[in-house]
């Protein structure tokens, strides 16, 4: 299946999706590079079809719910977020009201000597800011949090009222001692990546809905990284709660919109998609960049733990992917 044949397919796909969009030569080159998975200038029709489903929005179109950090320590424990149990109840109700194609849970999974714990820094005060040098050499003001979600502790386990199904995926974050990880996609300096982005892409997900705790930290960072990775990203506000709630909802919506995230409530799920040529090419460019990054990091990713119990023996057994 040579370039000429693929060119004809691209022209027809865009004609059907957005007749007013003119494919530039740079657009076509991006699409060729994206869909020629082995970079040999050729592709079997079967491989081309399978590759196309990873990109072409009307063919992708799957939904994912990312449930962020609904763990004991954030609901009733050392770092309790107000109305956390209500966030759980609303999240459970959302799952009953709409069938998502994929559900992924993130969890803080910290070592005992994690840099965010105030009692690991002599003289530090709880909730103060401490200047730390990150692994990439940049300096950041790290919040000195109470000790929370230490690996295998009671506080690190998912709250018992949270509905979890066998098909759910669990992505652990915050495993590195020297850097915090608010997002379910990357650590705070983007020096390491979880399996979240790869799981979403390989599952054909287009729309991501983010819920959980806390809206102004891990939920917010996760939703923004979902947008930066090329997904339609929606923060479902009634299924989330914040450490420091924003009293002005219009400001909250505007701040997230500026970063590519739409703030909605659960009654608006699912959001109707609006595909056009510009959206399709924006996604193609991000997927192409991700493919390059994936090839560059495939060796290290192959060594990433993937699979095993999400809880201690006797707990939920699902797919467990650590960063």
Concerning whether 7 is annotated as a catalytic residue, the answer is no
> 234 and 271 in contact (C-beta within 8 Å)?
yes
Instruction: Using the structure block, give the residue that is written with the tokens 């009293």.
Output: 247
Catalytic pick among 108, 173, 225, 323: 173
> 159 and 107 in contact (C-beta within 8 Å)?
no
Strands 102-108 and 261-264 turn out to be unpaired
Point out which residues pair with 158 in neighbouring strands. Answer: 71
**Residue 112 structure tokens:** 């005992």
Catalytic pick among 69, 73, 108, 168: 69
Within the chain, residue ranges assigned H as helices are 3-17, 25-35, 45-55, 57-60, 72-75, 84-97, 196-202, 220-228, 249-257, 277-302
Q: Interior CA angle at 169 toward 82 and 99, to 5°? A: 80
Concerning whether 218 is annotated as a catalytic residue, the answer is yes
Concerning whether 69 is annotated as a catalytic residue, the answer is yes
Q: Which residues contact 34 (CB under 8 A, 6 or more apart)?
A: 51, 55, 284, 287, 288, 291
Q: Which residues contact 298 (CB under 8 A, 6 or more apart)?
A: none
* Beta-sheet strand order (sheet of 102-108): 261-264, 232-241, 205-213, 62-68, 102-108, 169-173, 319-321
Nearest to 169, CA basis, from 204, 209, 199: 199
> 12 and 270 in contact (C-beta within 8 Å)?
no
Catalytic pick among 30, 115, 218, 229: 218
Within 76-219, residue ranges assigned H as helices are 84-97, 196-202
Catalytic residue list:
69, 173, 218
């Amino acid at each position: 299946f040579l370039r000429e044949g693929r060119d004809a397919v691209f022209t027809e796909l865009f004609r059907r999706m957005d007749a007013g969009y003119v494919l530039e030569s740079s657009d076509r080159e991006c699409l060729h590079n994206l869909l020629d998975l082995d970079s040999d200038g050729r592709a079997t029709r079967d491989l081309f079809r399978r590759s196309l489903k990873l990109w072409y929005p009307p063919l992708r179109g799957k939904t994912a719910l990312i449930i962020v950090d609904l763990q004991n320590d954030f609901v009733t424990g050392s770092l309790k977020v107000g109305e956390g149990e209500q966030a759980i109840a609303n999240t459970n109700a959302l799952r009953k009201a709409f069938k998502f194609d994929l559900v992924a849970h993130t969890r803080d999974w910290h070592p005992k000597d994690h840099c965010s714990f105030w009692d690991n820094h002599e003289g530090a005060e709880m909730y103060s800011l401490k200047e730390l040098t990150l692994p990439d050499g940049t300096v950041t003001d790290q919040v000195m949090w109470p000790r929370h979600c230490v690996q295998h502790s009671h506080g690190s386990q998912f709250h018992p009222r949270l509905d979890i199904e066998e098909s759910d995926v669990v992505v652990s974050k915050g495993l590195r001692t020297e850097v915090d990880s608010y997002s379910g996609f990357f650590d705070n300096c983007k020096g390491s990546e979880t399996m979240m982005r790869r799981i979403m892409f390989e599952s054909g997900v287009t729309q991501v809905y983010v819920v959980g705790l806390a809206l102004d930290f891990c939920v917010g960072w996760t939703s923004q990284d979902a947008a930066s990775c090329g997904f339609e990203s929606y923060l479902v506000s009634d299924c989330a709660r914040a450490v420091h709630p924003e009293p002005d909802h219009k400001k909250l919506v505007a701040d997230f919109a500026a970063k590519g995230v739409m703030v909605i409530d659960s009654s608006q799920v699912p959001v109707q998609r609006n595909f056009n040529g510009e959206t399709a090419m924006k996604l193609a460019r991000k997927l192409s960049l991700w493919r390059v990054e994936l090839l560059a990091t495939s060796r290290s990713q192959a060594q990433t733990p993937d699979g095993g119990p999400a809880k201690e023996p006797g707990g939920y057994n699902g797919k467990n992917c650590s960063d």
